């Protein structure tokens, strides 16, 4: 599905597995809910009836744009962003924990000094 969309070809696909993510229904192609031959024929017929024109060109452009979101560059960018978020959240928790530990140690030292005074 992605390869066809990358070439600007709207896709007709079953709405199963990962296809609803790979195909944006009515935008980059059409999803069919079942295995009913009539539904498939209707979806294909609808795409063919568009013919050349603004709507089919828009769907073709959308197909290319949607497929590009699955490129290696996009995948790497999303992975790096995920790592950055995880590291940021970890270091934020670590700072809070270090601050709490330091505060406890300071309070313990202060209480010991008061006990000896």
Which of 21, 15, 26, 27 lies closest to 2 in space, CA to CA? 21
Q: What is the pTM of this model?
A: 0.64
How remote is the C-alpha of 88 from its chain's centroid? 20
Give pLDDT, residue 63.
96
Give pLDDT, residue 95.
72
In whole angstroms, what is the distance from residue 28 CA to residue 89 CA? 36
Q: Which fold has domain 1-70?
A: Rossmann fold (3.40.50)
Domain spans in the chain, listed from the N-terminal domain onward: 1-70, 72-117
Q: Percent of the chain at pLDDT above 70?
A: 90
């Amino acid at each position: 599905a992605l390869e066809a969309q990358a070439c600007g070809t709207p896709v007709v696909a079953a709405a199963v597995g990962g296809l609803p993510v790979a195909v944006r229904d009515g935008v980059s192609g059409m999803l069919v809910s079942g295995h009913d031959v009539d539904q498939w024929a209707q979806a294909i017929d609808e795409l063919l009836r568009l013919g050349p024109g603004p709507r089919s060109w828009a769907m073709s452009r959308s197909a290319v744009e949607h497929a590009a979101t699955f490129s290696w560059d996009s995948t790497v960018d999303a992975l790096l962003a995920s790592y950055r978020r995880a590291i940021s959240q970890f270091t934020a928790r670590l700072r809070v924990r270090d601050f709490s530990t330091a505060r406890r140690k300071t309070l313990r030292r202060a209480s010991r000094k008061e006990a000896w005074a």
